[in-house]
Chain A
Amino acid sequence: MLRARERAVGLALLLPGLFFSSLIGSFMAYAGVRGAEAHDPEMVMPLLSLIATGVGVSWMLSPLLAGVALSESHDVSRLLHFPLPLLTLVAASLVGNLLQPMVLAALPVLASLSLALSRSPAAIPFALAGSLSSLLFLLAAAQVSGLVLHGLTRRRRFQDLAVFLVIGLGFLMSMAPIVFLSGGARFLGRAMRGLVASDLVALSPFAWGVRAAVHAGRGEALAFVGWAAAQAAAIAAAAAVSAALIERIHRGELDLGGGSGEGTGRAVMRLPGRIGALLEKDLRVAWRDPATKATLFLSCATPLFWLFVFTRARGGLSTSGLLMLAMLVGASAFGNAFGLEGRGITLLFSFPVERWRVLVAKNLSGFALRLPGLATLLAMGALLAPSALLPAAATVALCTFLVAAGADNYASILFPMVAARPGHNPYGGSAAGGRGLGAAALGALFFAATLVVASPFVFLAWLPMLLGRPFLWLFSLPLALAGAAAVYAMLVAGAARVLERREPDLLQRVLGEV
């Protein structure tokens, strides 16, 4: 019942959005083509080819880029135990995509494009046929990519690699605004103009139908037939590949193996003690988990982003900018101390290890995972700010980190995040979102308190610079670190007591059993 209502709400939100995007897309297609025709008619075909290729590639990769396939690659393996003929599966899977909302929303855009391309009313149906053939190829190609991805998910190593690469790709795309702001737009513009001028995209099968449409609009029958035939052949080839892949799924041949047979050699746990073992376990798990590994690399991006912001805003990295940056990097410890554990938290707490050790180990692994970010900050700070400030900046980051990690332990115990059941959607149901609004408000309070509690140590670390007596750093930096460490020790001792009292409740909440 709830799912039906959720779907209805989703549809109610989706339909107006699709309608308006379709409307705007149609207007832009018409105005854009007419504008380009008026400005430089020779540019229309390569430009449309480039756009069709871009749309096609994004559509194909949409499951990786957006996590949502714009058209579906149907998991026919679920239908294998029914006595259905293979052809029925192939046809159902391919035809099923024609009624996808995104596909339906593309139709007005193609109609508008065909109208704009046609120099006579008689040319409109042919131009439309050309445009539609591009869409059909796009669907067939997306079907192929969906099936290939489906096959890849059956081999863990490929899937890990795909997750890692996709997070990286997503990160690169999220950095696009920064690239544009920092003068990258000019470079991208030049690259685009080069592609259009060379018309290299004529080789892309995503563009062949659109090229046929352009020729149809201009009344060039022979060229239209040529490109349309090429597009039809490409559609047939993609459909044949899809059918072959589906057939292999049907016969169980696309199961690329239950897992790798490769081992990692004899295990050697190097770090001493229980804290060492916990830390080493976290680092190994993080390194082998593609999402966590990607986050590890991307943690370098946070200081880079803030460096960019500070340098653009002030025309260079000022000392106060560096101080702010160091505090921000340090405060990034605020997250979820038990985040790496997931449902393994029951395992962690089944061991007879003093809870303060668990918290310290969790904080240490959090620190280790943020080390690349800290190193980037120091490296970039060394380039942009006086190098004499770097020890102080590193101390500020460490002091803030210690206080933030100590405070985060309380938030992680009192407001744990639900871990999804194996095989369940980590973004759905009780695991969706996070700790709730109340917890978010309290989290903000914790964060502010962290900055307040850390401020005396930050002040101490920065004082010699304010006084203009750098030699005082010899005393102030160790003092600041010792003070922050003492606060951390007190916070951990308190958090361990809270954890001992609330351990079963914490487990129940993480497991979503409350």
Chain B
Amino acid sequence: MDHISFRVARGRFFGFLGPNGAGKSTTIKMLTGLLRPTEGEATIEGHPLEQELLAVKRVIGILPEELPLYERLTGEEYLHFAGRMYGLSPQETRRRTDELLAFLSLEEERGKLIVDYSQGMRKKTALAAALIHSPRVLFLDEPLNGIDPVSGRVVTDLLRRLAQKGVTMFFTSHVLDVAERLCDEVAIIDRGRLVAQGTLEQIRAQREVGQDATLEDVFLKLVAADVRREDLSWIG
């Protein structure tokens, strides 16, 4: 990452966008204490990351892109474990687990080992674990990848409601129309540098893009992507 600096207000749905290898996941890893930046600092919900790492981890929920779940636990056991790790009582953990499993349509799979889950089921389990302790900030790295359309809608509706209740969303996605639909504000990075930040309207105005331009149009312009190609020679 190259000297990026941004601020996200509480309760905002913040989209962090960029092409492959731009540094989105690296930024999330740094903001969640999983990767040490060579310099710089971050403050989350008033807690300086470097000095109060555990306090930061108490208030955040993480849905990483790579899902290192405990594959030899069942989905239900994993949620129980996560609840206990966040300091919830066994009774509260059980109540929230039941509710999360029902909400994410994982009830029938609750007794199966995670190793036997599909990618979408793993994603939903990881999301459930990220939500179980009622976090104030959610870091979601490609949360909709591999999730079926019905669950995708359930998840996006939930995330939107959470944001309305004051939970801050830090969201990365390659699917720009989803980002456009969900995010109040976006930041676009390219090769480790922040190239734009603000609401879509603000970015359109800054970059002198037409008011009818979609997020995808703005994104392609900002990362200077050349999408024009000659046809393949053998395709008639």
Chain B positions 44-91 with a Cβ under 8 Å from a chain A Cβ: 53-55, 57-58, 62, 64, 66, 68-70, 72-74, 76-77, 80-82, 84-87, 90
Q: Which residues of chain B have C-beta atoms less than 8 A from A88's C-beta?
A: none
Q: How large is the interface on B (under 10, 10 to 19, 20 to 34, 35 or more residues)?
A: 35 or more
Chain A positions 237-288 with a Cβ under 8 Å from a chain B Cβ: 258-267, 269, 274, 277-278, 280-281, 284-285, 288
Q: Which residues of chain B have C-beta atoms less than 8 A from A259's C-beta?
A: 112-113, 115-117
Q: Beyond A263-B110, A264-B111, A354-B54, is A284–B35 a contact (Cβ under 8 Å)? A: no
Whether, in the assembled complex, A312 has its beta carbon less than 8 Å from a beta carbon of chain B, the answer is no
**Contact yes or no, B35 A351, CB < 8 A:** no
**Contact yes or no, B35 A508, CB < 8 A:** yes
Q: Which residue of A lies closest to B85 (CB)?
A: A351
Whole-angstrom CA separation of A114 from B64 in the bound complex: 64
Q: Which residues of chain A have C-beta atoms less than 8 A from B97's C-beta?
A: 267
Most central of B54, B68, B111 by chain A CB within 10 Å: B68
Q: Which of B32, B53, B74, B82 contacts A264 (CB 8 A)?
A: B74
Whether, in the assembled complex, B36 has its beta carbon less than 8 Å from a beta carbon of chain A, the answer is yes
**Contact yes or no, A349 B84, CB < 8 A:** no
**Contact yes or no, A266 B34, CB < 8 A:** no
**Contact yes or no, A507 B34, CB < 8 A:** yes
Whether, in the assembled complex, B120 has its beta carbon less than 8 Å from a beta carbon of chain A, the answer is no
Whether, in the assembled complex, A350 has its beta carbon less than 8 Å from a beta carbon of chain B, the answer is yes
Whether, in the assembled complex, A156 has its beta carbon less than 8 Å from a beta carbon of chain B, the answer is yes
Q: Beyond A284-B72, A347-B69, A350-B32, is A266–B53 a contact (Cβ under 8 Å)? A: no
Whether, in the assembled complex, A87 has its beta carbon less than 8 Å from a beta carbon of chain B, the answer is no
Whether, in the assembled complex, A352 has its beta carbon less than 8 Å from a beta carbon of chain B, the answer is yes
Produce 1/0 per residue, B158-200, CB < 8 A to A: 0000000000000000000000000000000000000000000
Whole-angstrom CA separation of A262 from B50 in the bound complex: 44
Whether, in the assembled complex, A91 has its beta carbon less than 8 Å from a beta carbon of chain B, the answer is no
Whole-angstrom CA separation of A258 from B118 in the bound complex: 9
Whether, in the assembled complex, A430 has its beta carbon less than 8 Å from a beta carbon of chain B, the answer is no
**Contact yes or no, A346 B64, CB < 8 A:** yes
Whole-angstrom CA separation of A345 from B82 in the bound complex: 14
Q: Which residues of chain A have C-beta atoms less than 8 A from B112's C-beta?
A: 259-264
Q: Which residues of chain A have C-beta atoms less than 8 A from B34's C-beta?
A: 346, 349-350, 504, 507
**Contact yes or no, B53 A500, CB < 8 A:** yes
**Contact yes or no, A350 B62, CB < 8 A:** yes
**Contact yes or no, A351 B77, CB < 8 A:** no
Whole-angstrom CA separation of A265 from B111 in the bound complex: 5
Produce 1/0 per residue, A486-508, CB < 8 A to B: 00000000000000100111011
Q: Beyond A269-B77, A288-B72, A350-B34, is A156–B111 a contact (Cβ under 8 Å)? A: no
Whether, in the assembled complex, B19 has its beta carbon less than 8 Å from a beta carbon of chain A, the answer is no
Q: Which residues of chain B have C-beta atoms less than 8 A from A343's C-beta?
A: 66, 68
Question: A409 to nearest B CB, angstroms?
Answer: 18
**Contact yes or no, A352 B54, CB < 8 A:** yes
**Contact yes or no, A274 B85, CB < 8 A:** yes
Q: Which residues of chain A have C-beta atoms less than 8 A from B54's C-beta?
A: 352-354
Produce 1/0 per residue, A194-223, CB < 8 A to B: 000000000000000000000000000000
Q: Given A277-B84, A346-B68, 19 more contacts at CB 8 Å?
A: A156-B113, A259-B113, A259-B116, A259-B117, A263-B74, A266-B76, A267-B110, A274-B84, A274-B85, A277-B80, A277-B81, A281-B77, A284-B77, A285-B72, A288-B113, A345-B68, A346-B64, A349-B33, A500-B53
| A-B contacts, 12 listed (Cβ < 8 Å) | A156-B115, A258-B118, A259-B113, A259-B117, A264-B113, A267-B77, A277-B80, A289-B72, A343-B66, A350-B57, A352-B54, A354-B54
